[in-house]
C-alpha cells in the first residue's frame, strides 16, 4: 500500500511539472529563475510571476517533502532468517522449514531446507502472523511467529538431535484366557443409505445375553489359535526455545525402508513380536456350506420373497497384516528419547484352518497373514483392560500408558498381564 501511494504522489508531481511550459507560454515575461518579486539574479526588474505559477511551485515543494517522509517509513515486507540448532547450539542440517500466513496478512508462503550452518530460511515477507512448520530426523513441530513492521527477525529454533536415543523393550505377556468369550470377526451391515457399518461386540458381562447373535463367530480355543494386540508408539519432546517459549516436537519416523524404528507392533499370545508394516482391510460373503458366521449366511427363502440377495446387506470383514522381522518373547528397539505414549486399540485373533476356509478360498495367494479383528474400540474397552491389566489407562478408543525415556536410558514395557500356565499353543502355519 505504501509503495502504491508513493508512486501516485510522484505521478502527480510529474503531471504538475509538465504544466510549467504551458503556463510560461501564456506569460512570456515570467521566468523560472529569480525570486517571486520579478527580479532576476542581476537585480534587473522583470514582470511578476503569475499567482498560479507561484502556487504550483509551492505545491511541488510540499509534494517533495511528503515523498521524502514516506520513503523514510519502514517497508511492509519484514526480513526473517530461521536457523535450526540442537540443545547444545550446534547447527542441524536437513530440516525443512515452512512459513505460511495465518490469514490476517496477504497470502504468503516460504520454504527452505537448513544447510550446514543451520540456516533453513532467509526471506522478506509481509508482516503478520505465520504458521511455522519444521520437520527433520523424523521429528515434526508446528508453532506461530509474528513479523512486525520494520522489525527484522533472526530466529533460532532448537530441535532434537538425531543421536539422542534410548532403548525400549517390549515384553510379550498376552494371556488369551483373559478374553474367553470374545467373538472375532467384523460383522458388517449395509444401512438404508448404502453405507457399511460394523457391529460392536458386547461387553464381557453382556456377551452371554448376545450369544445368539455371535455364537458362530470364533472365540479363544474355539476357532482362534492365538490372540494379539497392536501397540502403537507416539513420541514427543518439549524443548525450551531461546525466547523461553517451548515447542513440542512429535516423532513420526519416515519410511519402513529408512531403518527407523516402526511405530506399530503386533504382540502375540504365543510370545511372537513383530513390527506391523501394513494393514489391508478386506470383506467376504459367507457361503451356506460354512459352519462359521451363520448369521452372515444369506437366507435364500427371504431372497426369493424379497427379490434381492441378502448377501448384499451383510458380510464378514477381516484384515491382511504385513509383518516385519520376528522376535521371540521380547523386542529391544532403539527409539528417540522423549515422552513415549503406548496406545492399544485393536485385538486380533489368529484363525484356525477351518475358519480360514470360511473367510477366504484362495489362502495360498496371500503374502500377508489373515487375522480377524475383534471390534472393541470406543465401546468395549473392558476387553482390553482384562487382557492388559489395570496398569493401563482407559481412553476414548482404547487403553494407553506413558513413560519418559532419556538418552541412553532403557525401559521395559510389559504388554499384557502375567501369563498363566494354561496358554494357547504356538501359531500353526497352514500347509501349502
Which pTM was predicted? 0.72
Please give the mean pLDDT across all residues of the chain.
Answer: 80
- Answer yes or no: do 37 and 130 share one domain: no
What residue numbers bound the domain in which 274 lies? 165-415
In a domain, 425, yes or no: no
Proportion of the chain above pLDDT 90, given as a percent: 46
Count other C-beta atoms under 10 Å from residue 183's C-beta: 25
The answer to the question of residue 404 being in a domain is yes
Same domain, 64 and 109: no
* 266, pLDDT greater than 90: yes
- Give domain status of residue 420, yes or no: no
- What HEC string does the chain produce? CHHHHHHHHHHHHHHHHHCHHHHHHHCCCCCCCCCCCCECCCCCECCCCCHHHHHHHHHHHHHHHHHHHHHHCCCCEEEEEEEEECCCCCECCCCEEEEEECCCCCCCEEEEECCCCCEEEEEEEECEEEEEEEEECCEEEEEEEEEECCECEEEEEECCCCCCEEEEEEEECCCHHHHCCCCCCEEEEECCCCCEEECCCCCHHHCCCCHHHHCCCCEECEEEEEEEEEEEEEEEEEECCCCCCCEEEEECCCCCCCCCCCCEEEEECCCEEEEEEEEEEEEECCCCCCCCCHHHCCCHHHHHHHCCCHHHCEEEEEEEEEECCCEECEEEEEEECEEEEEEEEEEEEEECHHHHHHHCCCHHHCCCEEEEEECCCCCCHHHHHHHHCCCCEECCCCEEEEEEECCCCEEEEEECCCCCCCCCCCCCCCCC
Domain boundary among 11, 38, 72: 72
The model's pLDDT over 210-261, given as tens digits with 9 standing for 90+, comes to 667 888 999 998 999 999 999 999 999 999 999 888 999 999 765 444 455 6
| Pair 228, 370 in one domain | yes
Confidence of residue 104 (pLDDT cuts 50, 70, 90): low
260 vs 60 pLDDT, higher one? 60
Which of 77 and 275 is assigned the larger pLDDT?
Answer: 275
Indicate if 252 and 365 belong to the same structural domain. Answer: yes
Q: What is the pLDDT of residue 62?
A: 79
Residue 253 and residue 110 in one domain: no
Task: Note whether 131 and 191 are same-domain residues.
Answer: no
pLDDT value, residue 349: 95
Residue 267 pLDDT level (bands cut at 50, 70, 90): very high
* pLDDT band at residue 289 under the 50/70/90 scheme: confident
The residues that bridge with 126 in the sheet, in sequence order, are 77
Same-domain pairing of 380 and 280: yes
For residue 372, pLDDT over 70 is answered with yes
- Has residue 423 been placed in a domain? no
Same-domain status, 278 and 317: yes
Min mean pLDDT across 6-10, 44-48, 62-66 is at 6-10
Amino acid at each position: 500500500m505504501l509503495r502504491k501511494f508513493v508512486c501516485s504522489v510522484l505521478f502527480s508531481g510529474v503531471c504538475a511539472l509538465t504544466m510549467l511550459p504551458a503556463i510560461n507560454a501564456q506569460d512570456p515575461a515570467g521566468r523560472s529563475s529569480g525570486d517571486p518579486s520579478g527580479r532576476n539574479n542581476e537585480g534587473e526588474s522583470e514582470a511578476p510571476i503569475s499567482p498560479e505559477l507561484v502556487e504550483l511551485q509551492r505545491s511541488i515543494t510540499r509534494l517533495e517533502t511528503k515523498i521524502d517522509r514516506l520513503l523514510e517509513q519502514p517497508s511492509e515486507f519484514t526480513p526473517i532468517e530461521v536457523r535450526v540448532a540442537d540443545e547444545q547450539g550446534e547447527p542441524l542440517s536437513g530440516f525443512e522449514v515452512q512459513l505460511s500466513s495465518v490469514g490476517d496478512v496477504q497470502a504468503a508462503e516460504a520454504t527452505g531446507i537448513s544447510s550446514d550452518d543451520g540456516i533453513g530460511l532467509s526471506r522478506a515477507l509481509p508482516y503478520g502472523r505465520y504458521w511455522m512448520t519444521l520437520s527433520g530426523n523424523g521429528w515434526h513441530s508446528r508453532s506461530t511467529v509474528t513479523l512486525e513492521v520494520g522489525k527484522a527477525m533472526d530466529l533460532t529454533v532448537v530441535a532434537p538431535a538425531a543421536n539422542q536415543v534410548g532403548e525400549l523393550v517390549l515384553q510379550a505377556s498376552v494371556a488369551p484366557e483373559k478374553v474367553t468369550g470374545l467373538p472375532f470377526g467384523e460383522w458388517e451391515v449395509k444401512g438404508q443409505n448404502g453405507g457399511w457399518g460394523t457391529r460392536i461386540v458386547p461387553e464381557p458381562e453382556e456377551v452371554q445375553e448376545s450369544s445368539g447373535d455371535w455364537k458362530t463367530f470364533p472365540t479363544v480355543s474355539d476357532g482362534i489359535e492365538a490372540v494379539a494386540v497392536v501397540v502403537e508408539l507416539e513420541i514427543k519432546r518439549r524443548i525450551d526455545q531461546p525466547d523461553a517459549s517451548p515447542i513440542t516436537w512429535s516423532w513420526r519416523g519416515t519410511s519402513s525402508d529408512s531403518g527407523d524404528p516402526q511405530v506399530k507392533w503386533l504382540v502375540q499370545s504365543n510370545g511372537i513380536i513383530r513390527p506391523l508394516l501394513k494393514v489391508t482391510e478386506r470383506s467376504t460373503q459367507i457361503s451356506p456350506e460354512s459352519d462359521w458366521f451363520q448369521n452372515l449366511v444369506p437366507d435364500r427363502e427371504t431372497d426369493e420373497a424379497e427379490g434381492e440377495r441378502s448377501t448384499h446387506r451383510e458380510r464378514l470383514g477381516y484384515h491382511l497384516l504385513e509383518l516385519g522381522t520376528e522376535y521371540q518373547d521380547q523386542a529391544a528397539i532403539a527409539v528417540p528419547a522423549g515422552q513415549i505414549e503406548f496406545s492399544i486399540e485393536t485385538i486380533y485373533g489368529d484363525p484356525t484352518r477351518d475358519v480360514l476356509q470360511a473367510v477366504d478360498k484362495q489362502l495360498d495367494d496371500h503374502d500377508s497373514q489373515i487375522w480377524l479383528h475383534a471390534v472393541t474400540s470406543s465401546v468395549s474397552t473392558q476387553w482390553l483392560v482384562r487382557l492388559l491389566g489395570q496398569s493401563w489407562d482407559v481412553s476414548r478408543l482404547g487403553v494407553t500408558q506413558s513413560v519418559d525415556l532419556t538418552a541412553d536410558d532403557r525401559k521395559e514395557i510389559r504388554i499384557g498381564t502375567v501369563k498363566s500356565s494354561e496358554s494357547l499353543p504356538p501359531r500353526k502355519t497352514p500347509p501349502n
